[in-house]
Structure 1
Amino acid sequence: MMTTKMTVIGSQFNCQLAGWKSSSGSVKIICGEHKDSKIVNAGFFASSLADDDDLTGVQPKVKGLTDCGSQDSETISSTAIGFDERMLLHAEVERKSSLHPERPDRLRAIAASLARAGIFPGRCFPIPAREITREELVMVHSLEQINSVEVTSQAFSSYFTPDTYANEHSALAARLAAGLCADLASGIVSGRAKNGFALVRPPGHHAGVAHAMGFCLHNNAAVAALAAQAAGARKVLILDWDVHHGNGTQEIFNRNKSVLYISLHRHERGLFYPGTGAADEVGSRGAEGFCVNIPWSRGGVGDNDYIFAFQQVVLPIASAFAPDFTIISAGFDAARGDPLGCCDVTPSGYAQMTHMLNTLSGGKMLVILEGGYNLRSISSSATAVIKVLLGDSPEREPENSVPSAAGVETVMDVLKIQKNYWQSLRPIFTKLQSQWRVEYLRIKRKHIKKRRRVPAPIWWRRGRKSFLYHFLNGHLSVKSK
């Protein structure tokens, strides 16, 4: 682990520069996980000034968001939007060969899409922004973590990890994001709004009790959950569909039976960032079963697998839990075209999942923006979700969804574990086991064969003979089938 020290107006600011490492000690970079992977040079990220139908006129549209309060109150719906332009000031200021994927254009693109669709300004109403207080943050984070974020306001540029940056405006942006999420949650629980969407950054679900990482500074979903409970919600569901596991949110509520955390994410048996979120991570110290991880074993996962997991795992558990308030940690990096997630969820898929969750907690729901780095995907997906919040019907129904074999395997593995804590899952597991038994066993045997292969030394796999290694490995595996 490397550590660097920055002089911050007479004081020393220690920024931890630690890349995530696997259990073997080697850094794993999969599908553009790291900002130096050159993914951002491949054309996935358009500038806010790009001549594109999805992005033209972004700057004026964003500026107009603050004028929504002048609308006739009779035309305003009960869906609230949380946004503040000052969150756009959080940006990586060091000159790099490529743009950082988590950058202000993400909010600009979504705002342009909403304005063009007549949703915001238009059908939604804004809430006034405020900064979260230290007293509220200390319920989620340690004082050391809070101070480490605050001290960045005294530095032109600083880093918590190689891909988690801060500038002099980042602490304010993080306070505003958390404050908006807290007030949206309180307003929805108290009935001042039916539901809401937090158009905020920096994201939050990787931020744990004592650390900032994965582009995240403060945990917005955790702050919102506690604000909802303070406003009267006894039980809170946090559904996290970001392609990366929300390790920070899981850590914060790992021993809490009043908050049910469910996450669907790429896992690759611990090789996908951040490496946490295996199916057997279920909570601890009396809260077993209140953490539910649905860890995809590969990339390319699309609508059918997500909806299948919702039908077989998410909704049965959530219905048994009976939440008073629902939070969606809505990362859109599992969307089709996202270079970090490399999955295949469509705007229609996100809309359908939102619609399915809307049956819980009397429709009291807050959607909080997390990840998502393809500007076209993130804007169209967010717009589709907000349309559902407004009462529009999703484009398609989930009845005819046929999952992939790998998706069935993941869901079966989760059910096998979680049925020990949720009785409603037992008949589902038995039924699926009889329906998919042959396919399930075939996949398991295939994985066992893969694990039996003896890995070659790194110098052999990555050197000049790497082609021969992969050729022989593939040839032998074909023979063994």
Structure 2
Amino acid sequence: MRTYIFEALKQLQPCEEEVKHVLKTFIGASNILCSSVGVTNDDEDEGCDNETTENGQSEDQAHPGSSPGVDSLKEDIGEVLTGKVKRRRTTGQKDCRRARNSSWEDLLGLHGVDWDDDESDDDDWSPVSALNLRPHWFCINCTMSNSEDVVLCWKCGERIKSEILTRGHLSSPTEPAPFPPSTQAGPDVGLRRDTPGALNTSSGCSSEHTADTLKSGKTLLGVDERMLLHYETQMKSHPHPERPDRLRAIIAGLASEGLYPGRCVLLPPREATRTELRKVHSEAHVDAVEVTCKEDLSYFTSDTYANKDSSLAARLAAGICADLATAIVRGEAQNGFALVRPPGHHAEQVNVMGFCLHNNAGVAAKAAQEAGAKKVLIVDWDVHHGNGTQDIFDEDPTVLYISLHRHEAGTFYPGSGAASEVGVGSGKGTSVNIPWICSGIGDRDYIYAFLHIVLPIAKQFAPEMTIISAGFDAARGDPLGGCEVTPFGYAQMTSLLSSLSGGKMLVVLEGGYNLRSISASAAAVIKVLLGDDPGPLPENIQPTEPGALSMFDVFAIQSQYWPDLQIPLSVQNLAQMASRRQGKGKRRSRRTYVGGPVWWKWGRRRVVYYLWQEASFRKTKWSQRCR
């Protein structure tokens, strides 16, 4: 019953103070009732009962599939005392289950409750159902749940009737739309040309126009409406963040700014062949994705879904990336942007996970090498580590993989990507991980890492093709990322990378789940690809303290493989300051004296107190003798 109450409090809006007061009063009454019968209050148990992970998730939330409290009670069978259950406590140790077991619902903090569980002890009365507090609409921008009596999303401020699918990031988040756009990701939405938010891929893409523009070396755009068919056909308690509206919002933003159709050229899409997929995935992996076409909805993991059209969408995404890479390496275009989904950088050689089916950047890298690029650089700025891309090229010295991601000592999804992961065998040194130790990392740290780590290593590697795994979930406002990168920061990073490999660069869309953020960020990146000036870099840019601490180990480890990498003095100073501050915060252990007078062991204060007590005792005793 306590779980129901806290779920209700989490979904309430700040204005509903009276209802909050009623529920909090009920909680207090339940505490008194539990204490009167001698039951331990699990929710308010201090210490280690509901121990949280580094990214703020409780152990119950971080591992879906187990109901709160069930595992702990199973462990404590036989330890029942009179009137209460003795729960086993752990001191100084945390459960080291990998963060990759977390689902997107857990990362959002919206781990659902089974409202229809017939075996629940609270079926006779549910405070949430009694007060009718379940959400009535989900924000089209960030998918957060909102109650019926509000018109602006509590998380991102987007209006319930938003124009973001028709105008992208240029739409007003607070002004109402002239007509309500459909938010359902069904098969008919976005596929008709007259539907708001549809991908208008027919304008300006005739074969003659495409051929002329390819010869002039402009920017290619890869997208296909059939990738919208990949969606979760049966919504759970919350809309899935990896949804077709992501592509709709990006295309709407590009159209509003006049970038497409117009300045970009659409590359005719095609499906990747089985041979191309087998170059990065095992045969079992390819078969597992293909067999999903026989089911209306299936799941590889708790958060990685597939419907009957998902295998088609995945083949299209991989094929578009392969053709873009080939055209760029051959000089038929200067650069390109692959607006594809499902994303790919979590897809390993064998495993399907993290919303990803096929590794699009991996397929593109292999296609670039076949087209003549001997060395390929993959830069992954998605907020999550690209464990799949690293797994595929871990032993390949011809592919340099550099990832900047939130790590937090392995507690942030997927748990891999520590600075010590440098590659295996002949590929040692070709995996460079820059793991952020906390959330809130922004433009300063990303640009600083590009200037002092990414570019020095990349220039020494001398790639002939650059691929960016461009996840925009590190952008400000993303519901999963928790970082603060702006469109200006993404534009600067793209501009810095354009100096490599003769400007031959392919940007592949990965994550990013705030529609306004990904629309603005994608437009900023495409402007740089088209040759627009992103503006000057900030003068004398310096990292934040968490950023410097994150990069300190990277310099120490990677300098063994890249002699041109030198640790900046500012990073050394910030790391030393943080180390001293942490040292002062720790209690100094008392020194143990061996031998010598006894007061050395006691300490000065205790000796003085003892002498004062002894003097008082002798004075009293002398007075009694004199009477």
* 1:229 paired residue among 366, 369, 373: 369
Q: Conserved in 1, the CA contact under 8 Å of 2:552 and 2:575? A: no
Q: Conserved in 2, the CA contact under 8 Å of 1:409 and 1:443? A: no
Deviations 1:24-47 (A, max 9, x none): 237657995269547732546879
Note if 1:40 corresponds to 2:149: no
Q: 1:43-442 to 2 correspondence within 5 Å?
A: 43=153, 50-52=162-164, 54=168, 59-60=195-196, 62-70=198-206, 78-425=218-565, 428-429=566-567, 431-432=569-570, 435-436=573-574, 438-442=576-580
- d(CA) in 2 for partners of 1:266 and 1:213? 18
Deviations 1:410-429 (A, max 9, x none): 1111001000110001xx22
Secondary structure (helix, strand or coil) at the match of 1:327 reads: strand
Let me know the Cα RMSD of the aligned residues. Answer: 2.7
Structure 1 residue 140, shift from structure 2 partner: 0.4
Q: Give the alignment's TM-score, normalised by structure 2.
A: 0.65
Deviations 1:222-266 (A, max 9, x none): 000000000000000000000000000000000010000000000
Q: Conserved in 2, the CA contact under 8 Å of 1:47 and 1:105? A: no
- d(CA) in 2 for partners of 1:31 and 1:394? 36
Secondary structure (helix, strand or coil) at the match of 1:335 reads: coil
Secondary structure (helix, strand or coil) at the match of 1:377 reads: helix
AA partner of residue 366 (structure 1): L
Q: Conserved in 2, the CA contact under 8 Å of 1:131 and 1:175? A: yes
- d(CA) in 2 for partners of 1:430 and 1:402? 10
The 1:363–1:20 alpha-carbon spacing in structure 2 relative to 1, beyond 3 Å, is farther
The 1:248–1:434 alpha-carbon spacing in structure 2 relative to 1, beyond 3 Å, is closer
Structure 1 residue 403, shift from structure 2 partner: 1.4
- d(CA) in 1 for partners of 2:65 and 2:340? 25
Deviations 1:417-464 (A, max 9, x none): 000110001xx2264465445324236648x959x9xxxxxxxxxxxx
- d(CA) in 2 for partners of 1:217 and 1:449? 47
Q: Conserved in 1, the CA contact under 8 Å of 2:322 and 2:368? A: yes
- d(CA) in 1 for partners of 2:196 and 2:240? 23
- d(CA) in 2 for partners of 1:78 and 1:191? 10
Secondary structure (helix, strand or coil) at the match of 1:338 reads: coil
Q: Conserved in 2, the CA contact under 8 Å of 1:229 and 1:236? A: yes
AA partner of residue 120 (structure 1): Y
- d(CA) in 2 for partners of 1:445 and 1:178? 50
Secondary structure (helix, strand or coil) at the match of 1:68 reads: coil
Q: Does 1 or 2 have the higher relative contact order (CA < 8 Å, sep 6+)?
A: 1
Aligned residue in 2 for 1:473 = none
Structure 1 residue 19, shift from structure 2 partner: 6.0
- d(CA) in 2 for partners of 1:31 and 1:412? 33
Secondary structure (helix, strand or coil) at the match of 1:66 reads: coil
Aligned residue in 1 for 2:3 = none
- d(CA) in 1 for partners of 2:440 and 2:377? 27
- d(CA) in 1 for partners of 2:411 and 2:508? 26
The 1:61–1:31 alpha-carbon spacing in structure 2 relative to 1, beyond 3 Å, is closer
- d(CA) in 1 for partners of 2:104 and 2:545? 22
Q: Give the alignment's TM-score, normalised by structure 1.
A: 0.84
The structure having more radius of gyration, on CA atoms, is 2
Q: Conserved in 2, the CA contact under 8 Å of 1:338 and 1:374? A: yes
Q: Conserved in 1, the CA contact under 8 Å of 2:549 and 2:575? A: no
AA partner of residue 41 (structure 1): S
Structure 1 residue 110, shift from structure 2 partner: 0.1
Q: Conserved in 2, the CA contact under 8 Å of 1:255 and 1:286? A: yes
Aligned residue in 1 for 2:126 = none
- d(CA) in 2 for partners of 1:19 and 1:414? 33
Structure 1 residue 299, shift from structure 2 partner: 0.4
- d(CA) in 2 for partners of 1:436 and 1:235? 35
The 1:255–1:217 alpha-carbon spacing in structure 2 relative to 1, beyond 3 Å, is same
- d(CA) in 2 for partners of 1:138 and 1:111? 31
Secondary structure (helix, strand or coil) at the match of 2:348 reads: coil
- d(CA) in 1 for partners of 2:242 and 2:290? 20
Secondary structure (helix, strand or coil) at the match of 1:251 reads: helix
Q: 1:21-40 to 2 correspondence within 5 Å?
A: 24-25=96-97, 33=107, 36-37=110-111, 40=144
Secondary structure (helix, strand or coil) at the match of 2:233 reads: coil
- d(CA) in 2 for partners of 1:31 and 1:442? 39
Q: Conserved in 1, the CA contact under 8 Å of 2:219 and 2:265? A: yes
**Structure showing the higher strand proportion among its residues:** 1
- d(CA) in 1 for partners of 2:324 and 2:161? 31
**Structure showing the higher helix proportion among its residues:** 1
| Residues 192-201 or 398-407, more deviating | 398-407
Deviations 1:200-230 (A, max 9, x none): 0000000000011000000000000000000
The 1:371–1:358 alpha-carbon spacing in structure 2 relative to 1, beyond 3 Å, is same
- d(CA) in 2 for partners of 1:376 and 1:327? 24
Structure 1 residue 178, shift from structure 2 partner: 0.1
Structure 1 residue 286, shift from structure 2 partner: 2.0
- d(CA) in 2 for partners of 1:341 and 1:36? 15
The 1:175–1:23 alpha-carbon spacing in structure 2 relative to 1, beyond 3 Å, is farther
Secondary structure (helix, strand or coil) at the match of 2:539 reads: coil
Secondary structure (helix, strand or coil) at the match of 1:272 reads: coil
The 1:156–1:297 alpha-carbon spacing in structure 2 relative to 1, beyond 3 Å, is same
- d(CA) in 2 for partners of 1:212 and 1:253? 17
- d(CA) in 2 for partners of 1:297 and 1:403? 13
AA partner of residue 420 (structure 1): Q
Deviations 1:166-215 (A, max 9, x none): 00000000000000000000000001110000000000000000011000
Percent of aligned pairs with the same residue?
55
Query: How many residues end up aligned between the 2 structures?
Result: 431
Runs of 5+ in structure 2 lacking a partner?
Answer: 1-62, 67-93, 113-142, 147-152, 172-176, 182-189, 590-627
Structure 1 residue 77, shift from structure 2 partner: 6.8
Runs of 5+ in structure 1 lacking a partner?
Answer: 1-17, 453-481
The 1:192–1:30 alpha-carbon spacing in structure 2 relative to 1, beyond 3 Å, is closer
Structure 1 residue 399, shift from structure 2 partner: 3.1
